[in-house]
């Protein structure tokens, strides 16, 4: 089978056919969402816009432990956050909106950890299929002193309902693949050994259909199932405000002191660290 491979920085695109592409996140060691990943997604979207044959894109990770860890909090993404896309949202949020509204079908094949904007990226895709044994999903922002800022508070309730969305967001803990499937966080959680074949077969099935009915059906479903741009803008503004709070600065400093954005126990078990992050001060 002939494949075309194109690198967009830390996003590698494998064109299985003109109608079916795989986009592979490869930004070691943790697949943090930084400026290079965002720029790679914009370049991919430009190529998706230009293709008249593409039907489906599957997003996956080269790292079996991290699909997308979370937002890069080192300051690398500051310029991207300040720059706005055509929606009026900052670039990290704009790129997810464009993906969710795109006529091409998007599928997240999740293996490993997807937290924060990594989870929000998966939520922005049209469908999510996860490894039952090797998936951890979460929105740990509240326990980290902020709030989900890239659509988590807007998209997650539409999938799982209000109560479960509050459990995920306010509890700031990790959810395994089986629980995520039961909640509706993902479409299905499959045995890890079956995940690749299942998603590939499903993507090839979609790729065999005509583009116009696929796009028309997706557009009609989107009308009743996607949050408005105004709601996403409200979330972005609220997220920006949290970054000015002194308690947020304390929690972010404590996270970096424990090893955030480095390989190790904090990134592996993020949710478990949040309840005692500030020690006794967390109860004040």
Confirm whether 141 is a catalytic residue.
Answer: yes
Question: For residues 213 and 53, what is the distance between their CA atoms, to the nearest angstrom?
Answer: 13
State in Å, rounded, how far the first CA of the chain is from the last one: 61
For residue 47, the tally of other CB atoms under 10 A from its CB is 15
Length of the chain: 284
Question: For residues 28 and 243, what is the distance between their CA atoms, to the nearest angstrom?
Answer: 26
User: Which residues face 129 on adjacent strands?
Assistant: 109, 188
Single out the catalytic residue among 16, 60, 120, 181: 120
Single out the catalytic residue among 60, 141, 154, 267: 141
Short-list 63, 205, 13, CA closest to 3: 13
Confirm whether 283 is a catalytic residue.
Answer: no
**3-class DSSP state for residue 66?**
strand
Tokens of 220: 């009609």
**Strands 127-138 and 105-115, bridge-based pairing:** parallel
Classify residue 2 as left (phi > 0), alpha (psi -120 to 50) or beta.
beta
Question: For residues 116 and 81, what is the distance between their CA atoms, to the nearest angstrom?
Answer: 15
Q: Are 277 and 143 in contact (CB under 8 A)?
A: yes
Q: Are 140 and 269 in contact (CB under 8 A)?
A: no
Enumerate the active-site residues: 120, 141
């Amino acid at each position: 089978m002939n494949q075309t491979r194109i690198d967009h920085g830390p996003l590698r695109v494998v064109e299985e056919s003109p109608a079916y592409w795989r986009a592979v996140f490869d930004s070691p060691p943790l697949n943090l969402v930084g400026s290079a990943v965002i720029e790679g997604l914009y370049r991919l979207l430009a190529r998706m816009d230009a293709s008249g044959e593409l039907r489906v894109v599957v997003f996956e990770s080269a790292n079996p432990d991290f699909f997308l860890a979370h937002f890069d909090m080192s300051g690398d993404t500051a310029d991207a956050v300040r720059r706005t896309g055509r929606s009026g949202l900052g670039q990290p949020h704009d790129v997810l909106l464009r993906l969710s509204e795109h006529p091409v079908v998007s599928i997240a094949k999740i293996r490993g950890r997807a937290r924060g904007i990594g989870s929000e990226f998966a939520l922005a895709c049209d469908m999510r299929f996860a490894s039952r044994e090797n998936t951890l999903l979460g929105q740990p922002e509240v326990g980290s002193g902020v709030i989900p800022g890239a659509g988590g508070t807007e998209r997650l309730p539409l999938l799982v309902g209000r109560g479960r969305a509050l459990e995920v967001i306010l509890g700031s803990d990790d959810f395994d693949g089986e629980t995520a499937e039961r909640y509706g966080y993902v479409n299905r959680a499959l045995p890890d050994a079956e995940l690749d074949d299942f998603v590939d077969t499903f993507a090839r099935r979609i790729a065999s259909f005509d583009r116009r009915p696929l796009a028309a059906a997706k557009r009609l479903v989107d009308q009743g199932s996607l949050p408005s741009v105004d709601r996403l803008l409200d979330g972005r503004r609220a997220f920006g405000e949290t970054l000015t709070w002194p308690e947020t600065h304390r929690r972010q400093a404590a996270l970096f002191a424990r090893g955030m954005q480095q390989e190790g126990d904090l990134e592996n078990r993020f949710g478990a660290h949040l309840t005692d992050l500030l020690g006794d001060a967390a109860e004040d």
